Structure 1
Amino acid sequence: MTSIFDRPLKARTLPGLSPRRRTANSVANLLVSLSIVIALAPLLWVLWSVVAKGFEAITSSAWWTHSQAGMTAFASGGGAYHAIVGTLLQGLACAAISVPIGIMVAIYLVEYGGGSRLGRLAGFMVDILSGVPSIVAALFIYALFVATLGFPRSQFAASLALVLLMLPVIVRATEEMLRIVPIDLREASYALGVTKWKTIARIVIPTGLSGIITGIMLAVARVMGETAPLLILVGYSQTINWDIFRGFMGTLPGMMYDQASAGAGVNPVPTDRLWGAALTLILMIAFINIGARVVSRYFAPKNS
């Protein structure tokens, strides 16, 4: 007598799709593919236009080693070295202020006061900041930092406005990465007698560090292209200024605005500079995004 377990298994057969379902599936695939093409077409068009019109400017060695000091609007020559330096200084100043604050706010929301009244208020304010336009942040800093406190217009004032735009991105990215860390890791650390702050510093944060770094770099890339705070809080300079607390400073968005005001589209010299500055900014942001992917892969937890 044979058992039921000794009988050979029959191949599982699935009924075929009806013609109506196959038609609906084909239509859905077509609509999704068409939506992707429609979404990518403007992006590729803009990218091709910037590369085609700005490639000639960035291939010059003077573009990366010289500033626009002493150059007039219609005189060819000079480069974007001063604007590249100013953009990098702006990004570093913003990151130095917003990264510690953003990470600590996220740690408080996840580990300490997520359900408290202060935690709910902090989360609500982060949501509000995520929707604040850049020009509103610039006007707030101008009213508080320049008009009320009497500090001069400077790159530091512009960085403070950009910090308001970076904070919600860093807080939300860090918060999501801390939430996906398994609770078992925290409980195992507590069971060994490790204090809570050491558990956060040595277990929770290193586990989610790859995503945190990615969020920080993406936030830096976002603020590097903002123009409104620069127009309100700091003027544009054609020379290099290493002091972020005083004087005008050149940046790539400021250079684009300056060349557009100087006759870009009418005269070929400012036109080439404008497209060159735009392509340089795109390349810098692309390198930051690529760096974020590389760093996130490096710090990602290794599977044993």
Structure 2
Amino acid sequence: MSHAPTGVIERPTPASPGPKSSLGSRSLPRLAPLGFAVVSVALGVGVSLAAGWESRIQWGLISALLFLAISYVATTIVENQRQARDRLATSVMWVCFLVAVVPLASLLWTTIVRGSERLDGYFLTHSMAGVLGSEASGGVYHALIGTLEQVGIATVISAPLGLLTAVYLVEYGKGSLARAVTFFVDVMTGIPSIVAGLFILSIMLMFSLEPSGLMGALALTILMVPVVVRSTEEMLKLVPNELREASLALGIPKWRTILKVVLPTAIGGITTGVMLAIARIAGETAPIILLVFGSQLINTNPFEGAQSSLPFYIYEQYRIGEAASYDRAWAAALVLIAFVMILNLVARGIARWKAPKTGR
């Protein structure tokens, strides 16, 4: 009787190779979307010119549609249907991004090109006193002073008021009063600027008040307060409750916890929200037309007499309809954009300076 030899290890039979993994399938190069974009723009411009379309907007729309179609078809052929759908969704997001950014970039570029032709030291240091609309002289000094004073007064009033309201809603607000405050803040967020101007105008008529920069600042305050409240409220909600609990556990009063822990933690977002509110009211024109009336002279007293502002100045110069007034309007628009950009840079600097320091 024979026995099988011991100590012999049988090797397993190698399995037959299965289907190729999808990870090793063909894929488009990383720069393929850029190539699709170049081809789409070339085809879009060619098709538009062949059809006799002169509008660049039509060229862009045709190019965008061709980009989506080429991306989907090429990905389907080279890769697979699933990757094609994924690339199509990505391409749609890129096209939407460009559709949103291109008009803004075009507007900014046009304002810089047209405004820089007239913007100089003389324009910033002179007013329109005694200057006719058709003359090339005159400046924006009186309007710049009016904007700084009116926006400054509105900020001084609305920033503390909005901050305290947001602190109440987040830290103390409960019951019907908090719900009522939240409701009115939501309603005030959507109030048109002309309604705020009419409200202050009715008060002026009731008490026989004269137009002044202060009246315009009060209308701007109505527009600014809900923005400050809503942005500050959201920033305070982002502060972790653990920080509040740790402070309260040490026996620190709640008001001091809010002042020393909560507000410093959220100061970056609060400052940004205030700057956004300032950027909104800096371009309002309707309340200034109703309450400030505009003036060609320099008036540094916001509590007495008519004043001008940058938005009102732009509207006034455009309404004149002369070539020189159009140049002044574009230069004033560039000054207004620069004013808002400087405010945002200052806000970022303050937020970074006051932000809580992290370390080990």
TM-score, normalised relative to structure 2: 0.77
Question: What is the CA deviation profile of residues 149-187 of structure 1, one whole-angstrom value per residue up to 9, with x for unaligned ones?
Answer: 222221111111111111111111111111111111111
Q: What residue is the counterpart of 1:164 in the other structure?
A: 222
Is 2:129 the partner of 1:74?
no
Percent same amino acid among aligned pairs?
43
> The residue matched to 2:118 in structure 1 has which SS?
helix
Which amino acid in 2 is paired with 1:116? G
Cα distance, 1:201 vs. partner? Answer: 1.0
Cα deviations across residues 264-289 of structure 1 (Å, max 9, x unaligned)? xxx22111111111111011111112
Is 1:106–1:175's contact at 8 Å kept on the other side of the alignment?
yes
1:218 touches 1:292 (CA, 8 Å); kept in 2? no
* 1:298 aligned residue: 353
Larger radius of gyration: 2
1:150 aligns with 2:208: yes
Is the CA contact 1:73–1:259 (under 8 Å) kept in the aligned structure 2?
A: yes
1:182-210 deviations in whole A, cap 9, x for unaligned? 11111111111111111111111111111
Which residue in 2 is equivalent to 1:270?
A: 325
Task: Please list every run of 5 or more consecutive structure 2 residues that lacks an aligned counterpart in the other structure.
Answer: 1-20, 26-78
1:32 to 93, 99, 103: 93
CA contact (8 A) 2:145 2:309 kept: yes
Distance 1:190 1:26 in 2: 52
Contact 1:259/1:271 (<8 A) preserved: yes
Q: Letter of the aligned partner of 1:137 in structure 2?
A: A
Give the CA deviation at 1:15: 5.7
Match of 1:224 in 2: 282
Alpha-carbon distance in structure 2 between the residues aligned to 1:31 and 1:187:
46
Q: Larger relative CO (CA 8 A, sep 6+): 1 or 2?
A: 1
Contact 2:185/2:226 (<8 A) preserved: yes
Q: State the alpha-carbon separation in 1 of the partners of residues 242 and 95 from structure 2.
A: 44
Cα distance, 1:42 vs. partner? 1.2
Provide the aligned length of Structure 1 versus Structure 2: 285
Structure 2 partner of 1:191: 249
| TM-score of the aligned structures, taking structure 1 as reference length | 0.90
Q: Is the 8 A contact 2:239 2:266 kept in 1?
A: yes
Whole-Å Cα distance in 2 between the matches of residues 89 and 198 of structure 1? 33
Is the partner of 2:117 in helix, strand or coil? Answer: helix
Letter in 2 for 1:297: R
Secondary structure at the aligned position of 1:75 is classed as coil
Runs of 5+ unmatched residues, structure 1: 1-13
Aligned alpha-carbon RMSD (Å): 1.5
| Aligned: 1:129 with 2:188 | yes
**Aligned-residue offset at 1:247:** 0.8
Q: Give the Cα separation in 2 of the matches to 1:290 and 1:94.
A: 20
Bigger mean CA offset, 168-177 vs 98-107: 168-177
Structure 1 counterpart of 2:347, one-letter code:
A
Q: Per the alignment, in what secondary structure is the counterpart of residue 57 of structure 1?
A: coil
Q: Distance in 2 between matches of 1:15 and 1:170?
A: 52
- For residues 7-29 of structure 1, what are the alpha-carbon distances to aligned partners after superposition, in whole Å with 9 as ceiling and x for unaligned? xxxxxxx9649822100111011
Say which of 86, 96, 110 aligns to 2:170. Answer: 110
Q: CA separation in 1, counterparts of 2:305 and 2:216?
A: 12
Q: 1:250-265 maps to which residues of 2 (within 5 A)?
A: 250-263=308-321
2:72 matched residue in structure 1: none
Whichever residue aligns with residue 102 of structure 1, its letter is G
Look up the match of 1:8. Answer: none
**Distance in 2, Cα, partners of 1:276 & 1:91:** 20
Give per-residue Cα distances to partners, 1:114-151, cap 9 Å, x unaligned.
x31100110111100111110111111111x2122222
Give the Cα separation in 1 of the matches to 2:256 and 2:88: 55
d(CA) in 2 for partners of 1:63, 1:106: 41
